[in-house]
Amino acid sequence: MSARAADPACSKRVLIFDTTLRDGEQSPGATLNADEKLTIARALARLGTDIIEAGFPFASPGDFAAVNRIAEQVGTATGPTICGLARATKQDIKAAGEALAPAVHRRIHTFIATSDIHLQHKLRRSRQDVLEIVPEMVAYAKTFTNDVEFSAEDATRSDPEYLYRVLETAIAAGATTVNIPDTVGYTTPDEFGALIRGIKTHVPNIDLAIISVHGHNDLGLAVANFLAAVQNGARQLECTINGIGERAGNAALEELVMAMHVRRHFYNPFFDRPPESEEPLTNIDMREIYKTSRLVSNLTGMAVQPNKAIVGANAFAHESGIHQDGVLKNKLTYEIMDAESIGWTSNRIVLGKHSGRNAFRTRLGELGYELSETDLNKAFLRFKDLADKKKEISDWDLEAIVSDEVLQL
Ligand code: KIV
Ligand code: ZN
């Protein structure tokens, strides 16, 4: 468990498990190199994510090296928990355990499918086989770290009675988090809420573990499903920046965090708090959201759609005259949250040929880049060169400069 997650003051918060670097990177065309992964991991740590799933170490030597480097450089005593994915096999778990070794707080996330369709057609295993594999592999993972997460892949298409037994077995073997994935984005909010409630009621040792949820957006319901799960006892949400991920993507971190923040008075009672409490529901520093979104979009090459909630270019834009008039009189007429609270900067300094290093460094910082002095010098020279040719330098220009000069994409 991370330093933040272990803090008693945070026990009534929902943990944010970011899987941008693992499930997010599984988006077609979103491959990241080791330097880019480290840059994103640092940004996720600044954002305040409790757990960073840094990759799948057995998948390739490159993934092993990237997880290992993140474990070493981001997995500090005050930093987040660094997690690695592993199928429920000894070779995968060993690779994850070794890659994660330098992290002060480290988690092995092991998974196996529990739906009949996966058992018959993919794994060619019986239900009984899985009931035997799970405790053996969870116990093996415990030899590397005390913090072990077990996922029942395709949980939402599994027989609930069987799922309860698998989860009970995983917890008895030492799993400290049990994750309920909606692997194919099939469930609906009512159904998912009922499944989490069923798990709380029918898994006898459930209080020894945190219930986590993981979900894909095939029907566009991932965030809504997670909110229903929170109302029924889920206390860890697995999500990605900008909702990137397999097929239609994963639940979007920024949407979940802002939904729970804007509607905190509604969610507070589910955390045993008085409705009027202003205590945050997550450990996320909301001011970091926008720049983290820009950074992930730039490094993965996956554009954010303009009408994307929270971070899309139009998310806080008002076009109609009626709306503009209302907002000018009082922002609350058409805005339910403050753009600045998620790090959008208004009245921005316009960068051009007269701008100095300080303004340049500040804007890069707002876009998520903390450069060394050497890299800053290289990028600044290129900026001055461009500013001689172009009146105003946009954020897109700055991102291109960093990509070419520093990250050498
Ligand atoms: O979607 C899924 O089921 C997963 C698991 C590995 C958690 O990504
Ligand atoms: Zn997934």
Between the CA of 63 and the centroid of ligand 2 the distance, in Å, is 17
HSE of 185, CA atoms in CB hemisphere, 13 A: 17
Q: Residue 203's pLDDT is what?
A: 98
Q: Residue 407's pLDDT is what?
A: 67
Locate the ligand 1 atom nearest the alpha carbon of residue 154 and give its number: 3
Q: Mutation test of ligand 1: which of 151, 182, 184, 239 has the most ligand atoms closer than 8 Å to its C-beta?
A: 151
Between the CA of 405 and the centroid of ligand 2 the distance, in Å, is 34
Residue 347 pLDDT more than 60?
no
Least confident span in 176-180, 199-203, 365-369? 365-369
Kindly report the number of other CB atoms within 10 A of residue 365's CB atom: 12
Residue 201 pLDDT more than 50?
yes
Residue 129 labelled as part of a binding site: no
Residue 408 pLDDT more than 70?
no
Q: What are the tokens at 58?
A: 């057995």
CA distances from 217 to 22, 124, 240, 251, 271 (A): 16, 27, 11, 6, 26
CA distances from 323 to 309, 336, 376 (A): 18, 13, 41
Residue 216 labelled as part of a binding site: yes
Between CA 328 and CA 347 the distance in angstroms is 16
Q: Mutation test of ligand 1: which of 23, 89, 154, 156 has the most ligand atoms closer than 8 Å to its C-beta?
A: 23
Residue 299 pLDDT more than 90?
yes
Between CA 234 and CA 196 the distance in angstroms is 7
> Averaged over 242-249, what is the pLDDT?
96
In the block, tokens 């272990």 appear at 6
Residue 179 labelled as part of a binding site: no
pLDDT band at 5; cut points 50, 70, 90: very low
Between the CA of 240 and the centroid of ligand 1 the distance, in Å, is 13
Q: Residue 328's pLDDT is what?
A: 77
What does the angle CA 99 – CA 102 – CA 108 come to, to the nearest 5 degrees?
50
pLDDT band at 346; cut points 50, 70, 90: low
Do residues 219 and 212 lie in contact, with contact meaning Cβ atoms separated by under 8 Å?
A: no
pLDDT band at 275; cut points 50, 70, 90: very high
Between CA 160 and CA 169 the distance in angstroms is 14
301: left (phi over 0), alpha (psi -120 to 50) or beta: left
Q: Residue 359's pLDDT is what?
A: 84
pLDDT band at 318; cut points 50, 70, 90: confident
Q: Residue 349's pLDDT is what?
A: 61
Locate the ligand 1 atom nearest the alpha carbon of residue 19 and give its number: 8
Ligand nearest to the CA of 154: 1
HSE of 66, CA atoms in CB hemisphere, 13 A: 29
Comparing CA positions, the residue from 102, 59, 110 lying closest to residue 79 is 102
Residue 273 pLDDT more than 90?
yes
pLDDT band at 25; cut points 50, 70, 90: very high
Between CA 163 and CA 165 the distance in angstroms is 5
Q: Residue 10's pLDDT is what?
A: 45
Cα-trace Rg, the chain: 22
Q: Any residues with Cβ below 6 Å from ligand 1, and which?
A: 23, 111, 151, 153, 179, 181, 183, 214, 216
Nearest CA to ligand 1 atom 2: 183
CB atoms within 5 A of ion ligand 2 belong to 23
Residue 385 labelled as part of a binding site: no
Average pLDDT over the chain, rounded to an integer = 92
Do residues 79 and 50 lie in contact, with contact meaning Cβ atoms separated by under 8 Å?
A: no
CA distances from 232 to 181, 191, 193, 248, 330 (A): 15, 11, 6, 25, 36
Q: Mutation test of ligand 1: which of 153, 158, 247 has the most ligand atoms closer than 8 Å to its C-beta?
A: 153
CA 260 to chain centre: 15
Locate the ligand 1 atom nearest the alpha carbon of residue 23 and give its number: 8
Span 348-367, pLDDT tens digits:
567 888 888 888 898 888 78
Tell me what percent of the residues of the chain surpass a pLDDT of 70.
Answer: 95
Q: Residue 214's pLDDT is what?
A: 98
Nearest CA to ligand 1 atom 3: 183
